[in-house]
Amino acid sequence: MAAGATAVSILVLTGCSRGPSDPADGQPAGISSQGTGTVTGTPDTLTVVLGVQTQASTAEAALDENSEKATDLIDTLKSNGVAAEDIQTSNLAVNPIWEQGGAQISGYRVTNQVTATLHDIPAAGEVIDAAASAVGDAIRIQQTTFSIADDGELRAEARAQAVQQAQAQARQIADAAGVTLGRVRSIVEIPAAAPGAPIPYASPEARMDVVPIEPGSQELDVHVAVTYEIR
């Protein structure tokens, strides 16, 4: 596990024109800074969202076929070592299929999602292949996400780095402004950005081998904003 720190962006010195002890807006003058701590770990969990899509001339027929295939998918996941508590269904939807021009309904499309959490990454490719074989052309692999199941120690290390970086930057600003850095007024952890886009998946007919799954490494970032009093 490697560790590193990414440079900070915003450093603001407030209230200096009034002097460190003069309130500008009801608050003592202060320095605000932001820091980022970055650590690297190896993912040990893969979350895959598997879609099942069927269509038929009637809503009932499309729903029956979808239910059958979704059940086959879930049974296949369980038979390949995925625990029941790591399988969740969601976003069941029944929608009409309109003829060109929208004048008449020609059939119905049913979609369902099964989210599986895989803790054995080396076996994940075989599990996904088995799921695709069980469902056939109705399979839709909509998203795959790597994660670290227990990232507590990594996150604590990243937080410490972020706070230390923010403190170092604030001291630089204080020295440049000719003031003394005081006690911490506030520390706020800034929420992380949303995950990236889904990863496409080729149909079983387009592949010759087991789906390659490589977790690589994963960076975990923690961003903090710290405000110090000055004197």
CATH 3.30.70.2970 fits 45-147, yes or no: yes
What's at 87, amino acid-wise?
A: I
* CATH architecture of residue range(s) 3-42+151-195+219-230: 2-Layer Sandwich (3.30)
What's the pLDDT at 209? 56
Q: What is the pTM of this model?
A: 0.65
- Residues of the chain under the 50 pLDDT cut: 1-21, 24, 195-208
Q: If we measure between CA atoms, which residue out of 35, 27, 40 comes closest to residue 153?
A: 40
> How high is the pLDDT of residue 26?
60
Predicted pLDDT at 161? 97
Domain(s) of CATH 3.30.110.170: residues in the chain: 3-42+151-195+219-230
